[in-house]
Structure 1
Amino acid sequence: MQERDDPETIGRRVQQLRTERGLTQRQLAEPAYTPAYISTLEAGRVRASDEALRHIAGRLGVGFEELASGRPAHLATDLRLRLTEAQRTLANGEAEAAAAQYAALFEEAEAHGFAVEQATALLGMGECALDTGELGRAREFFERAELWTAGEPLPVRVPAIRGRAVSHYLAGELRYAVYLLETTLDELNRGGLHDPDALLLLYASAIGPYMDMGAHARAAQAAELALALAPQAGDPALIARMHRSVARTLLAEGRVAEADASLAKAAELYRQLQLRTELANCHWMRGYVYAQNGELERAERELREALAMLSETRAALYRSQAAVELADVLHRRGKSDEAAELLNDVLGDFNSERGAVHSAAAHRLLGIIAEDARDTEAAEEHYVRALSLLERAGAAGDLADLCRLLGDLLRRTGRVEAALDAYRTGLGHRTAPGTTTLGPAPAQPPL
């Protein structure tokens, strides 16, 4: 960000303001400076220090920033206030309205040269695009925000990097998302940049892709580090997001009560912050916890609540993901027709570059429902589509199970060699959690 104009421009501004106020160069200079210094400054032949500009600004009755850059000081404050209003709009689930606010604020910040506020607006537009499922646009906004903050310390750039990683994750590019998150964590920790908010944001964001890749040990480690960092972090929204992400790892370790408690803490924080999309995601994850624990009635109730809230916020991609989880519970409760209808309704919201892992989950479940109805041709078609999506996404955690389902179907229909191929493919993905799926773990912060 350019903090001040060039000396000639500032000199002309000082002369104009002095003349408007009827002051002589001596009156402006006293008591700290000489009339000769003011004359040299007005001619643009000296670059005034911040101390000198503050003195002159005080004598002229203007703000330092207005004198140095020509911008009234209240402009930056007003922009930041309206950026906060846009953030609240997004938090209330009105992503499209928030996107319009952020776009207008970006243009205003750009017109006045406020680089920090431009970057903040770009981050906001990226978050709005994530909410509405426009992953390509989200990635573009986060990349631009990263460029605007290129000269800033790494902790300042972390939200943009995390945004890019999440957009790749939701698009099904799990390995690249993990690469972005882990390299940033490594750089922070090895460089001694132990910013609690930045580290918490990165560790919490890594849990989802770790789990989908089958790297359960790495996910558990990230969860433990996030929990250890939480008391140091100053942003309650970050802490709430962390509790929601950690719950999934706790569940994988069989710690159901702790997972539910973690989600309850997140829900309360989000309720206080009025972040409806994130609160809906808490209901979604609580439903997931109950479903894995066999409490299907409670799971259905939580997931229906999540789906209703996400439908209100028009967070299309998140709504579709929650719908897949609800459909799984409905199927397990014997409501297969309703489950299939729900899945077919949301499949159009996904593609290979947008929600690939959940699209694969929808096809997998439709395959199981088709098998139950003895429609083996449709079941095989759904399994093959799911397999293709998971292979491109690198979601090793789900591939082995899907290959088993496909192999069993092929064996039952007499295609033994094809079944063996499917089983072999599945065995190739049954690696030790957190080992061969990823490279070395990033350096850890000193806790």
Structure 2
Amino acid sequence: MLEQPSFGRRLKQLRRERGLSQAALAGDGMSTGYLSRLESGARQPTARAVEHLASRLGIGVAAFEESGATDSLAQALAIATSTDSDETFKTLERALCADDGQDPLLRWQALWLVAQWRRRHNEHAKERTFLEELVALGNELGLPALRSRGFTQLARCLRACGEIVPAVEAATTAHQLARDNNLPTQDVVSSLLALVSAETEVGRLAQARAHADELTALTVGRSDSLWAEALWTAAAVRVRQGDLGAAQELLEQALDRFSSAKNLTLWTRLRVAAARLHLQKTPPELDISEQYIEQAEASLVFVSIPALEQEVTFLKAEIAFQRGQFADSRALLDRVRGTDPHMTYRNRVRLEILDSRLLIIEGQEREGLKRMRALAEEAQAASNIDLAADIWRLLAETLAKSHEAPTA
């Protein structure tokens, strides 16, 4: 028999798992007020109400029976912190959906872990949902450290989604909280990493450079992941300022001194960043770029991150394009596009840029031009001014190359 409050907990879990609001689930056959009272356990469900909700959820009535011990947020959290696997995080996510929020600190910790799990899989839209609740909960708790960390992660997620201005705002809040409340250096550095990256994307290069200098000053004498990321981030600012020599010097410090034993994923990403840097030079240093790509590829067997694997393949496609090997470039690009691209907004745009450039080379000039113009306008609308400028520049270069190269 379906009794309260277990029915209400299970109903809320099923609704949240499907991403439905109370109004969407209630439909025309039930008021949202009544549904809310059912979820809270204040009303006993009638047979008619149960049938209506089961139909709306697309389940059998038996599914309203509570799913057991794994619904306990405390148990799911304990398992997730001691066993790192997709299955344990799925269980934790389900427990979050069923939890009624009686322990906000426990819920904050669970939200943090599930958001990190979603980020590792580059599922930024789902990550964002959890982070937005995390930030709201942190504000309710009023703890500066939790608030700063929540805003930092939200800023990183927003940037990955291409929402650069909100990312700057979130990162600015995180940095201010860390500074005003004398939080540990790691919190200040983490907020600055997010802030500098977002400011660079939006074209606020003076502010980004000042914050990058603050970032590197805070990490002097270290040799850990924060130090390597600080150098990488500072290098990215120099790249946007057009000082590729200074960017290379900063990046080479991290490449030379940061060991793969400390963080193999970051070690690999640094080599991918170096490969892209040498591709951006005039003329592109293709041999050096390929050397870094080979090093990155060798570690992918152990890292096994789809987004990183796709980025490496995509860089190989860009190198092939620069060498005039257009058929090879197309084959590599299609390999990436043949799977679900687990990429950040900027890398997804880069992928579409290369596809458009290849269309122009292949003789579909009108379609390629149309797509590149649309990409540039989209980047401008998102306040991604430097990306828009890159697209217009690449468009001009491609048109020139298309008149030099054969179409086959």
Give your verdict on TM over 0.5. yes
Aligned to 1:177: 167
Greater relative contact order, per chain length (Cα 8 Å cut-off, separation 6+): 1
- The answer to whether residue 239 in structure 2 is matched with residue 239 in structure 1 is no
From 216, 219, 225, the counterpart of 2:205: 216
**Superposed CA offset, 1:69-89 (max 9, x none):** xxxxxxx99967x65545xx4
1:277 to 2:265 alignment: yes
Contact 1:283 1:303 in 2 (8 A): yes
Q: Identify the residue that residue 261 of structure 1 maps to in structure 2.
A: 252
**CA separation of 1:223 and 1:103: change in aligned 2, threshold 3 A:** same
Query: What's the counterpart of residue 125 of structure 1?
Result: 114
- 1:355 to 2:344 alignment: yes
Whole-Å Cα distance in 2 between the matches of residues 349 and 221 of structure 1? 37
Aligned residue number for residue 68 of structure 1? none
Letter in 1 for 2:254: L
Match of 2:376 among 362, 387, 396: 387
1:403-414 pair list within 5 angstroms: 403-404=392-393, 406=395
Alpha-carbon distance in 2 for matches of 1:134, 1:250:
29
Counterpart in the other structure of 1:369: 358
Output the CA distance in 2 between the equivalents of 1:407 and 1:203.
Answer: 35
Aligned length: 323
Q: Does 1:397 align with 2:396?
A: no
CA contact (8 A) 1:174 1:395 kept: yes
1:161 to 147, 151, 165: 151
| Structure 2 unaligned blocks of 5 or more | 1-73, 403-408
- When residues 163 and 194 of structure 1 are mapped into structure 2, their CA distance, relative to the original with a 3 A threshold, is closer
Q: Write the distance in 2 (CA, Å) between the matches of 1:112 and 1:357.
A: 36
Q: Do the aligned partners of 2:197 and 2:233 also contact (CA within 8 Å) in 1?
A: yes
Give CA deviations for 1:247-279 in whole Å, capped at 9, x if unaligned: 3224443314422334326742xx233x44333
Instruction: Kindly provide the amino acid, as one letter, of the partner of residue 287 in structure 2.
Output: E
2:322 aligns with 332
**Contact 2:148/2:173 (<8 A) preserved:** no
- Asked if structure 1 preserves the Cα contact closer than 8 Å seen for 2:115 and 2:127, the reply is yes
Secondary structure in 2 matching 1:149: helix
The equivalent residue for 1:302 is 292
Contact 2:275 2:292 in 1 (8 A): yes
Offset of residue 164 of structure 1:
1.3
Contact 1:123 1:145 in 2 (8 A): yes
* Higher-Rg member (1/2): 1
Structure 1 equivalent of residue 16 of structure 2: none
The 8 Å contact of residues 243 and 263 in structure 1, kept in 2 or not, is answered as yes
Structure 1: tracts of 5 or more residues without a match: 1-75, 414-447
* Residue 184 (structure 2) pairs with residue 195 (structure 1): yes
Gap change, CA 1:210 and 1:265, over 3 Å in 2: farther
1:146 aligned residue: 135
Tell me by how many angstroms 1:359 deviates.
2.3
CA RMSD of aligned residues (A): 3.9
Asked if the contact 1:357/1:389 (under 8 Å) is kept, the reply is no
* Deviation (angstroms), 1:173: 0.8
**Secondary structure of 1:193 counterpart:** coil
Q: Structure 2 residue aligned with 1:290, among 278, 290, 294?
A: 278
- Residue from 221, 229, 244 that aligns with 2:218: 229
